[in-house]
Structure 1
Amino acid sequence: MRLLEGQVALVTGAGGGIGRGIALRFAEQGAAVAVHCRTAVAAAREVASGIEEVGARAVVLEADLRDEEECRRLVRAAAEWGGGLTALVNNAGVQPTRPLPGMTAAQWRTVVDTNLTSVFACTQAAAEIMRPGASVTHIASIEASRPAPEHAHYSASKAAILMHARSAALEYGPHGIRVNTVSPGLIDRDGLARDWPEGVERWTRRAPLGRLGRPEDVADACVFLASPLASWITGHDLVVDGGMTAGAVW
């Protein structure tokens, strides 16, 4: 039996990269998947086609998650399409680089609203309609505890996501809703080795498992947390980084 048979999931930011991997893996494990995008409509439709190819249902839903009402509208649309909502994966996010000296409040807010406020609004909206046994998973990052230069706004937003999940686990637990996070390390994408060769080389040299992550690695962790196998797990951060953060930093 597939792990997510009969579930209805909403994956935000599912047009590419990690989100695409999560949406496809959920479908392979039996879930109907609402594929969210903001602007990457063509890519989201490709993901939906891939989901349908494995015999699962899919729908593409557009929304700007920087807007609270758009978050609520998205969740309602997913639930109406699926006849309910059993899993939410808050994956949508941005990762611009900007030195902290000179960063404007507007630049800060763009990252925080996209990465963090959307998580708050989507989770709140989903929890209002979810039944006991449902799950919410936030995609955080190992940068929540190990920041990188020029990522102050990103790292701060991801650290806040960890605490939001713990708080939500505490408050939504009595309603039978579990909330967890997955914190990926460096995940490969097309062109990454070309665009950042020194970073890729440094990562693969230091990582205990000797490779970059793949979207499927993160997706498998999300499937586990949404499945009955994790029915007594909430408020937990599952690190998926090939062992990188297990190493010494001095």
Structure 2
Amino acid sequence: MPSVSRLLEGRFALVTGASGGIGRGIALRFAEEGAAGVVLHCGTAVEAAGEVADRVRESGARAVVLQADLTDEDACRGLVREAAEWSGGRLTALVNNAGVQPTQPLPGMTAADWRTVVDTNLTSVFACTQAAAEVMREHGVGGTVTHIASIEASAPAALHAHYSASKAAVVMHARSAALEYGPYGIRVNTVSPGLIDREGLAEAWPDGVRRWREAAPTGRLGRPEDVGDACVFLASRLASWVTGHDLVVDGGVLARPTW
């Protein structure tokens, strides 16, 4: 259902990795909060992204699906250029959500394994942000950029060395970008989710889900819309003096003592 608050009235947003999970939750919350249009990026899952686009339209926003390989810098820039053209130059929000999270022991990891994760999770953030900021500066309207990081940026898990390092770098990129783009009216922040529920997760990883629920003061896993709500806030006027910030959305897990 559309929101009565309409925090993003008239905005045009690009959400990368929007074909499912967290990306879907972000795109839908943007539409529900009054965004005029949402560009849904996907890598290969075009059909799934199309289903999200249908739901975005049901919420009253325009939607388009654009496909791009975000490990390719030129493709990142092309994606932003297409999104800007589709929005009539009014692209005012970017959410860098696309990412991968493979598991692999560090001792046997190759440089190629490392680069696959870093290029997807970090280099794409750099390229998309730079391109979007150029659009926002050209049209003089300012805007917001939100990176989806992770609580693993500060609390890594085993077998996630490349992932954790990439997410820590994403947090620092946002802080650096906040410094340099702030004078142009562009705010850059990160959202660091904890464990977000998805279909089949409890069956595939029952022990992990149990341990998470025990560790979380709120007693539950996150939902995609929890991350979407955080992104809406950071893109809205309510966060007009918030930049360079990492907003943790983990149900309180990081608040627990580790000793």
TM over 0.5: yes
2:28 corresponds to which residue?
24
Query: 1:68-83 alignment to 2 at 5 Å?
Result: 68-83=73-88
1:13 corresponds to which residue?
17
Q: Equivalent residue of 1:181, what SS?
A: strand
Structure 1: where are the runs of 5+ without partners? none
Query: 1:207-218 alignment to 2 at 5 Å?
Result: 207-218=216-227
1:121 corresponds to which residue?
127
Distance in structure 1 (CA, Å) of the matches to 2:215 and 2:153: 19
2:66 corresponds to which residue?
61
Preserved contact between residue 184 and residue 218 of structure 1 (Cα < 8 Å): yes
Distance in structure 1 (CA, Å) of the matches to 2:185 and 2:61: 26
Letter in 2 for 1:85: L
1:103 corresponds to which residue?
109
Letter in 2 for 1:6: G
- Report how far residue 169 of structure 1 moved: 0.1
Preserved contact between residue 133 and residue 231 of structure 1 (Cα < 8 Å): no
Query: 1:189-228 alignment to 2 at 5 Å?
Result: 189-228=198-237
- Report how far residue 132 of structure 1 moved: 3.8
Q: Equivalent residue of 2:147, what SS?
A: strand
Query: Which stretch shifts more, 129-138 or 64-73?
Result: 129-138
- Which of 150, 155, 163 does residue 154 from structure 1 map onto? 163
Letter in 2 for 1:21: G
Distance in structure 2 (CA, Å) of the matches to 1:105 and 1:132: 41
Q: TM-score, normalised by structure 2?
A: 0.96
- Which of 187, 202, 205 does residue 196 from structure 2 map onto? 187
Q: Equivalent residue of 2:222, what SS?
A: coil
2:96 corresponds to which residue?
90
1:143 corresponds to which residue?
152
Structure 1 segments of 4+ aligned residues over 6 angstroms from their partners: none
Summarize deviations over 1:27-73 as a string: whole Å, max 9, x none: 11111100000101000000000011111100000000000000000
Seq. identity, %: 78
Q: How many residues align?
A: 250
Letter in 2 for 1:54: S
- Report how far residue 133 of structure 1 moved: 3.5
- Report how far residue 138 of structure 1 moved: 0.1
Summarize deviations over 1:183-228 as a string: whole Å, max 9, x none: 0000000000001000000000111000000000000000000001
Q: Equivalent residue of 1:86, what SS?
A: strand
